[in-house]
Structure 1
Amino acid sequence: MDSQRVAATYWVETPYPLEQAAEIIAGEQSTGTFTKVPGESDALKREHGAVVEGIERLEDHDAPSLPGTVAPPGHDGRYHRGRVVISFPLHNFGPSIPNLMSAIAGNLYELQQISGLRLLDLQLPEAFAQRYAGPKFGIEGTRRLLQVYDRPLLGTIVKPSIGLSTEELAVMVEKLARAGLDFIKDDELNANPPYAPLDQKVAAVTAAIERAADATGKKLMYAFNITGDWDELRRNHDLVVGAGGNCVMVSILSVGLPGLAHLNGYSEVPIHGHRNQWGMMTRSPHLGMSFTAYQKLCRLAGADHLHVNGLDGKFYESNESVTASIKACTEPLFGGYKAMPVVSSGQWAGTAHATYNAAKTADVMHLAGGGMLAHPDGAAAGFESMKLAWEAAVNGVTLEQCANRHPVVRRAMDKFGKAGRL
């Protein structure tokens, strides 16, 4: 692909011939509109027009996947599906994530000639790497801060998500820190609520972490949820760093990709990128975008950690999709830009084997909320059960064999195994 063009791969469904639909997409997202207009010269189109680079035909379908589709006169009832690659001149928008999104998505999803559309992948020119520095810490930097190299980073999410006072939270965090956890994050529902303001939370939690570190010699990483308006991001970040905090978290779709890049411009600690709201963009296979495309934009904008859902978890996503998401976070982008995949949602010791067998790597952050905090013998036992299960998975020992050797794992199986979860 030309180094001065962006290539976008789409899954397309249309009642029109695929070639015609692809040209409609290319025109709508560059120089064209629904009719010829003055000034749209051949020279202008050559210089600024999007180009259909390739079409791969897939199976036809007998009904539109999305409402609002208008078929051409004499339509035979078939809806054509295919993968379409369209390239855009970089000079139309420059190395700018906000304006890139207008080009590759824009009004595209509203076209009447399209009955299904999904952005599958992106190829970005080097100019984006010159504009956006990407993750400052990623996998290696996060491991260096925690001094954990030989296993996944293991941790939990504050539960209950909402309602704990700062004092109650501090007691919980100190107890978990003393239990040896690597990482705790705020829930996405809890950032800077009036009942527990962020400044009070930061003061209480950082003090608890320091007390535990003095006792154990290990400092927990805590991701404070600093999600807010852009003018709040800097204040909240500085509040955390000034108190000795070592991680901040943002809900990426709440602050936007430009908000993430804005935070990354001055962040002094890892940015934990949460993807809540992602389901509304991707759950339909006939609409939205794939995580393959999305995670490239998040890494470009500076996410050091990136949520990927969890295998055998509580959400709808298939294990195959989660596995692909884990691998996508570490695939080369401009020669680096690796982000730590964060596996969470319905996780416990019993999901370690599935995660390792699928991802073939221990370079993940594996978080369990209820699966750690609600262990029958307490949170420390929940952490130990996950650590032991991961050790077994990496060494080819089955979960059942691990449970036979370690009662703490057996207790987790009794509580969170399929029978216990039903």
Structure 2
Amino acid sequence: MIRATYIVETPCPIAEVAAMMAGEQSAGTFVRVEGESDALRARFGAKVIATEEIGRSESPSLRSAWAERRGLTGPRGIYRVVIGYPEENVGVNLPVLASVVAGNLFDLGEVTGLKLTDIQLTPEYRDRYDLPRVGIAGTRASASVRGRPLFGTIIKPNIGLSPQEIADLVARLCEAGADFVKDDEIAGTHPHAPVDARIRAVMDPVRRHRDRTGKLVMVAFNITDDTDAMRRHADLLAAEEGTCAMVSLNWAGLSAVQSLRRHTPLAIHGHRNGFGGMGRHPLLGLGVRAYQALYRLAGIDHMHVHGMGGKFSDLDEDVTEAARHCLAPMGAGEDRVMPVFSSGQWAGTLPHTLAQVGSDDLMFLSGGGIMAHPSGPAAGLASLRQAHEAATLDVPLPEFARTRRELAEALAKFGAKG
């Protein structure tokens, strides 16, 4: 059974609304139709597993013409609703699964707020979908990193540089000790820097660095495009000995990401830009667990979760929940994905991040914290490694920084948050 959890605001009796939701998304509609036998409903009908009132609202969070026509404008209840859908209703079909657990539910007149917060699958059913091809262990092996997070950065300026200028910057970051470098989400196949030209230009110094040092820095090229183009970009990237393709998940879509997964052995770096439009409102859209579950079924290897104390709107508990969900298995096989922290991260935010997540299995991307470090990118990366050492030893950052110049400079520049 596929269990979906919702938060629902409604002025109507919740038992009726939940039953209507289950019917709408399975074997029923607003009125019983010819052929809708009891046997059919028993086999294919969704079941309401639980309803629980968790709050009240004095006014509707969202307008409903249906409710307004009936004068239902006063106080309403907020409920947690769990519905079970038969796996047989979906088979193995990711877009249909998304349609079943979400679909038209957001548009129902009886609800003035609805958010899909979680999707839980049996391990056996989960493993019928795509798994990561690289995952956490493969990412660590590829980047030659053990016993600590992967530290990296984002190419800045994020747009406007020529392929050769980007290659020169990546060469500097390789020399500085970066484990991972990625394109920004708005970097596409620009006329001034087409993605194929970027791949060829950048992979040359990356390979030379590998040949000289034995370390192959993982570079995530943003290949977001139509499905056929993404396949071509992935093929070129693999031919150039690259290891990672970045995709803007929401704008490529579930099916395109799934198709790319089946086409390439490269690590797929999932960027969730645009998720705020789906998840930021407490009574509309998708919660992070439901969102991540769907894209994990598409077989991605890395998932952006934003950052602690960063520049975006996320609460630390939201980021923690997202990261822990990435690191929790959904299936019987190894299907965990590496959480990626970014947005205003630096050495001072790392200890709190590690404490909240409870694991080193993460990617910690620091733009300004590396690129704007007073002594340069190498010192910025050193400050992150020093902050990790301090956290491992449970030593406050200001104390640890007394004998670590790079960390001390980072604290002075960005503000001590040890």
TM-score (ref. length: structure 1):
0.94
The partner residue of 1:112 within 93, 99, 109 is 109
Bigger Cα displacement from structure 2, 314-323 vs 137-146: 137-146
Query: Counterpart of 1:11 in structure 2: which amino acid?
Result: I
Aligned-pair identity in percent equals 46
The question of whether the paired residues in 1 share the 8 Å contact of 2:142 and 2:216 is answered with no
Distance 2:379 2:106 in 1: 48
Q: Secondary structure at the match of 1:58?
A: strand
- Counterparts of residues 87-106 of structure 1 (less than 5 Å): 87-106=84-103
Query: Counterpart of 2:352 in structure 1: which amino acid?
Result: A
Distance 1:97 1:353 in 2: 37
What is the aligned partner in structure 2 of residue 368 from structure 1? 366
The change in CA–CA distance for 1:320 and 1:268 in structure 2 (over 3 A counts) is same
Are residues 1:15 and 2:11 paired?
A: yes
Q: Secondary structure at the match of 2:21?
A: helix
Are residues 1:359 and 2:357 paired?
A: yes
Are residues 1:67 and 2:63 paired?
A: yes
Distance 2:140 2:256 in 1: 25
> Gaps (5+ residues) in structure 2?
none
Compute the displacement of 1:69 (Å): 5.5
Compute the displacement of 1:126 (Å): 4.8
Q: Secondary structure at the match of 2:103?
A: coil
What is the aligned partner in structure 2 of residue 45 from structure 1? 41
Query: Counterpart of 1:300 in structure 2: which amino acid?
Result: L
What is the aligned partner in structure 2 of residue 390 from structure 1? 388
What is the aligned partner in structure 1 of residue 228 from structure 2? 231
Distance 1:177 1:67 in 2: 53
> Gaps (5+ residues) in structure 1?
none
Distance 1:130 1:220 in 2: 31
Bigger Cα displacement from structure 2, 314-323 vs 248-257: 248-257
Compute the displacement of 1:25 (Å): 0.8
The question of whether the paired residues in 1 share the 8 Å contact of 2:348 and 2:416 is answered with no
The question of whether the paired residues in 1 share the 8 Å contact of 2:136 and 2:361 is answered with yes
Distance 1:339 1:413 in 2: 31
- Counterparts of residues 398-409 of structure 1 (less than 5 Å): 398-409=396-407
Distance 2:7 2:352 in 1: 29
Distance 1:130 1:393 in 2: 36
Distance 1:357 1:269 in 2: 30
The question of whether the paired residues in 2 share the 8 Å contact of 1:166 and 1:196 is answered with yes
Q: Secondary structure at the match of 2:57?
A: coil
The question of whether the paired residues in 1 share the 8 Å contact of 2:270 and 2:303 is answered with yes
The question of whether the paired residues in 1 share the 8 Å contact of 2:136 and 2:337 is answered with yes
CA deviations 1:358-402 (Å, max 9, x no partner) are 111111100011221111111111111111111111210111112
Question: How many residues in Structure 1 have an aligned counterpart in Structure 2?
Answer: 415
Query: Counterpart of 1:47 in structure 2: which amino acid?
Result: R
The question of whether the paired residues in 2 share the 8 Å contact of 1:174 and 1:211 is answered with no
TM-score (ref. length: structure 2):
0.95
Q: Secondary structure at the match of 1:107?
A: helix
Query: Counterpart of 1:357 in structure 2: which amino acid?
Result: A
Q: Secondary structure at the match of 2:263?
A: coil
The change in CA–CA distance for 1:190 and 1:266 in structure 2 (over 3 A counts) is same
The question of whether the paired residues in 2 share the 8 Å contact of 1:156 and 1:184 is answered with yes
Distance 2:101 2:291 in 1: 12
Compute the displacement of 1:76 (Å): 8.1
